[in-house]
Amino acid sequence: MRTPPTARVSRSKAQRGRNCLRLAFAAVIATAAVSILPGCGSVGNGGTSAPSTSMPGNNAAPSPRASRTPTTKPSAAKLKPTAAPRAVAKTPTKIVFVNVGQGDAIVIKSGSWTGLIDGGPTGSEGAIEAALRKLGVSRLSAVVVSHPHADHTGGLSGVVYDYRPKQAYVGEGAGSAAAALRSVGASITKVRRGATLRFGALRAQVLSPGSLSGDANEDSIVLLLDAGGRRCLFTGDCTGANESLVGSICARGPPLYLLKVAHHGSRYSTGSGFLSEARPKFAVISVGPNSYGHPTPETIGALKSEGTRIYSTQKNGTVTLAVSGSGTVTWAFAKSSQPVIRAGGAAGGSDGGDSSGTSGSGGGTKVYITETGECYHLSGCRYLSHSKIPISLKDAKAGYRACSVCKPPT
């Protein structure tokens, strides 16, 4: 029996449809294969696009979306967003440990912002104001009163009246300076651990006090300041449990560049456990003639065991650090540039330091050393690009060798 013509036509159309479908499917597979081959059909790799295909049985012109060649997705590395670099304060900073005898007074200048941490004992006004004039400061931005003991606040009232700070940060009070701060209209803020203070372009973290012990020394305000990547810790007279807590916080970061030694080098602060966590490269002790034996052999021994280079205002006079935005540090000393090597009276410079008042001269020709180097250098030597610490030629020859590049005198 012959198949009717209409049936043959229908079967033929069905067969052609199946053939077209197979051809279309094959074309799609071929296009996908081309698009994933390196350098072939991938726009991202600079190849030419593969031919487009249309669905069988559709005589309409393909839409641009349908005719677009599939392309490979960029790699994960290309898709990963690049984090914006964290803004770093590039403002140069000066830190001045003013020689006020047995007490603390530290000036910090960052751009147009100038702050004072503590005001020394009674009679310190002249030395503090001389340091401010040398920096070109006519008004203080802020004062920090670490704790209300007389050797930290005695000279503060006169400075407050003359330099009218806008802001005051206190722990348990400002002691004898409280009335002066109120009279000049300073905004007085109590601070605790966890606060962050704005020091111009810089930020200072308050590491202590947390819970108050009732002891003024232990409850001192402790500040961690980052200047040009150099971590500096200002401790007041902190001791006891709060000092231990500060040490544990410091241990989470890189070693300290600078430690202001607590309580003038007392044996009750700056223990070996704290130092092993803080790991300071340099230490400054603010101290003067006293009957307490400050700085004590215990404290000097603990610092030396940690490899810390020690300076004191009693021996070195006013100590100044100039920190560039990139972290380059230049040191200057009003008296001897020789570090403290033993406790007691020797810290006052009786072991050879001169008291001429020249910046870091220590007598005779002035040369320079670095934080970790073994040589001494002339001022323009390229090895002084990251730190520059003045020292007398006499002192340098006793513990360093002459640089073979800049060839300082021998």
Average pLDDT of the segment spanning 154-164 = 97
Which among 320, 302, 205 is positioned nearest to 261, based on CA atoms?
A: 302
Report the Cα–Cα distance between both ends of the chain, in Å, rounded.
124
How many angstroms separate the CA atoms of 143 and 376, rounded?
38
Asked if pLDDT for residue 352 goes beyond 70, the answer is no
How many angstroms separate the CA atoms of 136 and 224, rounded?
25
pLDDT tens for each residue of 283-297:
999 999 998 999 999
Share above pLDDT 90 across residues of the chain, in percent, rounded to a whole number: 59
Q: Select the more confidently predicted residue: 226 or 346.
A: 226
Q: 10: Cβ–Cβ under 8 A, 6 or more apart, which residues?
A: none
3-state secondary structure of 257: coil
Asked if pLDDT for residue 42 goes beyond 90, the answer is no
Residue type, 335: K
How many angstroms separate the CA atoms of 99 and 347, rounded?
13
Asked if pLDDT for residue 50 goes beyond 60, the answer is no
How many angstroms separate the CA atoms of 235 and 71, rounded?
62
* pLDDT for the residue 395: 76
Average pLDDT of the segment spanning 348-361 = 34
**Which H/E stretch holds residue 259?**
strand 258-260
* pLDDT for the residue 89: 52
pLDDT tens for each residue of 228-278:
999 999 999 999 999 999 999 999 999 999 999 999 999 999 999 999 999
How many angstroms separate the CA atoms of 34 and 397, rounded?
74
Q: Where does 71-230 have alpha helices with state H?
A: 76-79, 125-134, 150-153, 156-163, 178-183
Asked if pLDDT for residue 373 goes beyond 90, the answer is no
**What burial letters (b/e) apply to 352-388, b meaning 16+ CB within 10 Å?**
bbbeeebbbbbbeebbbbbeebebbbbeebebbeebb
Tokens 């994960």 belong to: 76
Report the predicted TM-score, pTM, of the whole model to 2 decimal places.
0.69
Phi, psi dihedrals of residue 322, rounded to the nearest 5°: -110, 115
CB 228 within 8 A of CB 326: yes
Question: In the Cβ-directed half-sphere of 234, how many Cα atoms lie within 13 Å?
Answer: 24
Phi, psi dihedrals of residue 11, rounded to the nearest 5°: -65, -40
Average pLDDT along the chain: 80
Q: How confident is the model at residue 41 (pLDDT cuts 50, 70, 90)?
A: very low
Please give the CATH topology (third level) of the domain spanning 93-327: Metallo-beta-lactamase; Chain A (3.60.15)
* pLDDT for the residue 379: 87
Which among 188, 196, 154 is positioned nearest to 171, based on CA atoms?
A: 188
Asked if pLDDT for residue 343 goes beyond 60, the answer is yes
CA–centroid distance for 31 within its chain = 56
Phi, psi dihedrals of residue 208, rounded to the nearest 5°: -160, 155
* pLDDT for the residue 388: 84
CB 378 within 8 A of CB 367: yes
* pLDDT for the residue 62: 43
